[in-house]
Structure 1
């Protein structure tokens, strides 16, 4: 099975980014959003100010050249490698240690600004590549649990739910507690991290990487629902789309629909390196919809005609954008 790691094509060298002042950028973005019926697509860049690192820096390259994002799907079902795969994911390298900082993170100015524009219906749909749940947190005090998923689409899934290979779903907090109960030594390590505040930096998908750590003794508990049904099954994963894994058909179709129903597409904090996001941009251009991108550094859209790019950090100007729109 051949897996292509999402990247920005090397041929992208030209940029259509506008070198303008923050005040001019505020005016351009406000004019773009003011008529309403805008679909927004966000990426890891919007969560940087919440303490969750982006994959790429200002030059468009991965900030950690030694970081290998987890590649999975069919691998979960190959018996010969499944034990190592599960241990690596649920231990230090992956989400057991990386999840608590994501859970504790709070929405930043960009999240709240976009939430305000959603509440006023200037933004009618929001599609996010992020799995941290911060967009939902930013508007939870205004919308109920039914309204939020109807207006916010998680293109790549969420870290906050876990499912087993038979489809049983549990919250990530409950599963985190099970992991701690089955791994008291790791729980002590986590307690020490919390006591000292020496928390490793977390990647956008909840990963952390520590060198020189053995995962051999890490225990992944059986799914309790499977146990009640008379089977033993410890193959469980978060509802995150890993590299090499297909986006569910329903999610793909809804993302296309959200683009089709809007009048304009606004992209924030994304390089569009993953094709699942890039194809939404292409779909908007095919439909001759105006497109604007707000991002620092190269993106996959930089050489495309019909894309207006402003190269500024969203956190610097987005609050003023909301004031101008309102």
Structure 2
């Protein structure tokens, strides 16, 4: 399965069908009732991380908020020709600037509410399209890394690790240090951003919007491990599934297994424009499993019979839904109390900076 640039059918985004609004109180009751039987597989998307300051790709109308969005495809990133070298300069400069806001983002109230559902075993399987690692952060103080990996599947990978074309893996923070050492002028620029509290307009994949910036002088460092083995290699890739790249078979099989072993599927904060996620909903429907979708704006599943949709933001209702579901445990269990009192709510302003040539020199 290759990941292509996600789209929502034009008939959905232009249908003009009024949204079926629901009150927070009614949404809380419906979500709690849906989750009550347990054994729920959760599928999340970029909308869950908006309250953590990470912008979603699409707005409430289902269209890209950045109409000039031009992702780099997998074959472009790994191309070893001169053209591929230029693509990697573009990708890594933009990602170098965009990664710190993603790295420093904190889980929001929805992440912690979902962590409470994981901790109480209502959600044994969580599948996320997000590469920001915020689901992991929300439960990291309760579960060991191996247990988090066992119950949380990052369908599209993670920004927090990088590997070279020969398979050497390095934590992203170390790779950021390599980029800083190779590009002191851009390191100074990043330091200035952090000093002034400015944040570039960053997509969920860590890519930033740049205007009038030359990529020609940006240095992508060679892999030190390859150098020790007598090879010079500067072809690096984050452990993210790029457009045009195949999702590993093992990951695909696990995602289907998580859906098939569940009693029902809860879909949260995603337009399902990416087929790798949309096909999981279709599989659940084929198996006649109940599907509840919570999202603001149109989604690819809006016309699918069997999908129940609530048009409301998770940040408005999810914590209260978990409290309603857990009853006295939500007020008496110290761990649950802490989780339901945790999380930020800091959505990004609509006027995030677009870096231009003037601001980078």
Query: What is the TM-score of this pair, normalised by structure 2?
Result: 0.87
Flag the 1:14–1:247 CA change in 2: closer, same or farther, 3 A.
farther
Cα offsets for 1:140-164 (capped at 9, x unmatched): 0110011000001000000000000
For 1:208 and 1:58, the matched residues in 2 are separated by 21
For 2:309 and 2:72, the matched residues in 1 are separated by 31
Deviation of 1:20 after TM superposition, in Å, equals: 2.3
Deviation of 1:209 after TM superposition, in Å, equals: 1.2
Structure 2 residue 280 is the aligned partner of structure 1 residue 271: no
| Contact kept? 2:3, 2:276, Cα under 8 Å | no
For 1:70 and 1:117, the matched residues in 2 are separated by 36
| Contact kept? 2:3, 2:247, Cα under 8 Å | no
Deviation of 1:70 after TM superposition, in Å, equals: 2.1
Flag the 1:150–1:17 CA change in 2: closer, same or farther, 3 A.
farther
Partner of 1:303: 303
Deviation of 1:18 after TM superposition, in Å, equals: 4.4
1:25-36 to structure 2, matched below 5 A, reads 25-36=27-38
For 2:17 and 2:230, the matched residues in 1 are separated by 58
For 1:201 and 1:64, the matched residues in 2 are separated by 10
Partner of 1:82: 84
Partner of 1:46: 48
Partner of 2:314: 314
Partner of 1:164: 164
Deviation of 1:14 after TM superposition, in Å, equals: 8.0
Deviation of 1:201 after TM superposition, in Å, equals: 2.0
| Contact kept? 2:165, 2:235, Cα under 8 Å | yes
Cα offsets for 1:83-141 (capped at 9, x unmatched): 101100111xx210000000100000110000000000000100000000000000001
- After superposition, the CA RMSD in angstroms is 1.5
For 1:72 and 1:15, the matched residues in 2 are separated by 36
For 2:11 and 2:226, the matched residues in 1 are separated by 49
Deviation of 1:75 after TM superposition, in Å, equals: 4.8
Structure 2 residue 73 is the aligned partner of structure 1 residue 102: no
Flag the 1:159–1:75 CA change in 2: closer, same or farther, 3 A.
closer
Structure 2 residue 77 is the aligned partner of structure 1 residue 61: no
Deviation of 1:16 after TM superposition, in Å, equals: 10
For 1:108 and 1:301, the matched residues in 2 are separated by 26
Partner of 1:188: 188
Runs of 4+, deviation exceeding 6 Å: 14-17
Partner of 2:73: 71
| Contact kept? 2:270, 2:295, Cα under 8 Å | yes
For 1:166 and 1:74, the matched residues in 2 are separated by 17
Partner of 2:24: 22
For 1:3 and 1:163, the matched residues in 2 are separated by 19
SS of 2:297 mapped into structure 1: coil
Structure 2 residue 218 is the aligned partner of structure 1 residue 239: no
| Contact kept? 1:14, 1:303, Cα under 8 Å | no
SS of 1:162 mapped into structure 2: strand
Cα offsets for 1:248-302 (capped at 9, x unmatched): 1111000000000000000000000000000000000001100000000000000
Deviation of 1:78 after TM superposition, in Å, equals: 3.9
SS of 1:65 mapped into structure 2: coil
Corresponding residue pairs, total: 323
| Contact kept? 2:182, 2:221, Cα under 8 Å | yes
Deviation of 1:3 after TM superposition, in Å, equals: 8.8
Query: What is the TM-score of this pair, normalised by structure 1?
Result: 0.96
For 2:17 and 2:130, the matched residues in 1 are separated by 25
Partner of 1:118: 118
Deviation of 1:195 after TM superposition, in Å, equals: 1.1
Deviation of 1:65 after TM superposition, in Å, equals: 0.4
| Contact kept? 2:76, 2:84, Cα under 8 Å | no
Deviation of 1:80 after TM superposition, in Å, equals: 3.1
